[in-house]
Amino acid sequence: MKLVSKHEGFAELLVPEKIEEDGKIRKAEVFYNPVMEIERDISILAFQSYQKEIGKNIKICDLMTGCGARGVRYALEIKGIEKVIINDLNPSAISLAKRNVIRNKIDKKVSLKCFDSNVILNMYAIPRNRFDIIDIDPFGSPAPYLDSAVRAIKNGGLLAITATDLAPLCGAKPIACRRKYGGKPLRTEYCHEIGARILIGSLVSIAARNDLAIKILLCYHSHHFTRVYASINRGILAANKCLKEMGYIAHCFDCLNREIFDKLSKIKSSCNVCGKKFSFAGPLWLEELYDKDFCRIMLDELEKRSFNRKFEAQKILREILVEKQECLLFYAVDKICSKLKIKTISVKEVIKELELRGFENSITHFHKAGFRTNAKIFELKSILKELSMRRAQK
Ligand SMILES: C[S@@+](CC[C@H](N)C(=O)[O-])C[C@H]1O[C@@H](n2cnc3c(N)ncnc32)[C@H](O)[C@@H]1O
Ligand SMILES: [Zn+2]
């Protein structure tokens, strides 16, 4: 494996060289994706903010490290680290991660392990051994590791989860979604929000089995993955409360109306706007996706850093801070315009009009053409028709 040097944050990493064969990138023996640098930056902001909040030294597990990029950066860039445990099942990954640990002079802060994720998590599940933070960054679904992860985390600890299996979560593979996450997805224009809520819903039920509750600090979607940061807290009452915050979404593909139900048995079979058949998604998480105070601390932390791609992290966090998350399930302006058979209108214009008419409104980081509002679909359609007519008269 030919290696090249890469600079990320404070780290000087040796990473596999990108090799192109017949116009395609050849899969390297050890995984490294430069595009995910920004996600590693955001993880550093989240973990540092969490460390400051609890005010003591923390033990982090980089469960699936690849070449060691995350673990090495956590040890170098987060203040208040007691230990970083870097693990991967692939021995070549761990040899390269070891070289990166030595190269960055952090061997005293780091332990390297080469186990299956569930084995290492179970080894650390004994009460005094547990982690403050576990970072799960697998190929595809995190589902096989969530059970062990909630048991290997301290009370009040932080779990960071990446899911790249968007085909199941967002509705292209509904049977796989049922199997992995116990929820039914739906291919709507807001399927990425549904997917994120199904992933969180699955975490809620796994945590509840262990008398644990979750609190979502941050959840966001990027082009090919969803990332969730959740704190895990012991308590039967809190776990029961989380279960109560689960429910279902009914969606009408004919008129784009959507309704929320707390129980499957309560979902109506036909749409209350047009009378056509309702489709549904769930069970899924119906509560908040962001703790905005936490996101603000992350943004303050970002101001002090000089990441290579600082502005991209800033953009995501700033968009999240203005999202009206109490308006569940965003709309997509292009989808409504296409139903109305009118030329698409800009989100900015729609938001301005919603503001003038006194509706709650905001953009959403989930979708370029997306917006959140408390206006109902029939109200939105009449607003969009009017905006289209006004444009035609100009
Ligand atoms: C997406 S890559 C991780 C990328 C890395 N976190 C980063 O930011 O560069 C997934 C890694 O999981 C490892 N892996 C796959 N199955 C595993 C398992 N059951 N236990 C531990 N590691 C595993 C692979 O060898 C691979 O290095
Ligand atoms: Zn309808």
User: What pLDDT digit, counting tens, does each position of 284-341 carry?
Assistant: 999 999 999 999 999 999 999 999 999 999 999 999 999 999 999 999 999 999 999 9
Asked if the 330-393 domain carries CATH number 3.30.56.70, the reply is yes
pLDDT the model gives residue 262? 96
* Ligand 1 pocket member 165 (CB < 6 A): no
* Spacing, Cα 138 to ligand 1 middle (Å): 5
* Spacing, Cα 363 to ligand 2 middle (Å): 24
Instruction: Return the structure tokens found at 372.
Output: 């959140």
* Ligand 1 pocket member 139 (CB < 6 A): yes
pLDDT the model gives residue 13? 98
CATH 3.30.56.70 residue ranges of the chain are 330-393
Atom of ligand 1 nearest to the CA of 66: 27
Atom of ligand 1 nearest to the CA of 145: 19
For residue 381, give the ligand nearest its CA. 2
CATH 3.40.50.150 residue ranges of the chain are 29-293
**Parts of the chain with a pLDDT under 70:** none
Asked if the 29-293 domain carries CATH number 3.40.50.150, the reply is yes
Atom of ligand 1 nearest to the CA of 62: 6
To test the ligand 1 pocket, which listed residue (61, 63, 89) has its Cβ within 8 A of the most ligand atoms?
89
For residue 277, give the ligand nearest its CA. 2
Residue 127 preceded by cis peptide, ω within 30: no
Question: What are 239-260's pLDDT values in tens digits?
Answer: 999 999 999 999 999 999 999 9
The structure's pTM equals 0.97
Instruction: Return the structure tokens found at 338.
Output: 């296409």
Instruction: Return the structure tokens found at 318.
Output: 């700033």
Listed in sequence order, the residues at least 6 apart from 116 whose beta carbon sits closer than 8 Å to its beta carbon are 89
pLDDT the model gives residue 27? 81
pLDDT the model gives residue 191? 98
* Ligand 1 pocket member 273 (CB < 6 A): no
Angle between helix axes 333-340 and 377-393 (nearest 10 degrees) is: 70
- Is the separation of the CB atoms in 325 and 288 below 8 Å? yes
- φ/ψ of 203, rounded to 5, equals -65, -40
For residue 272, give the ligand nearest its CA. 2
Query: How many Å apart are CA 220 and CA 42, to the nearest integer?
Result: 11
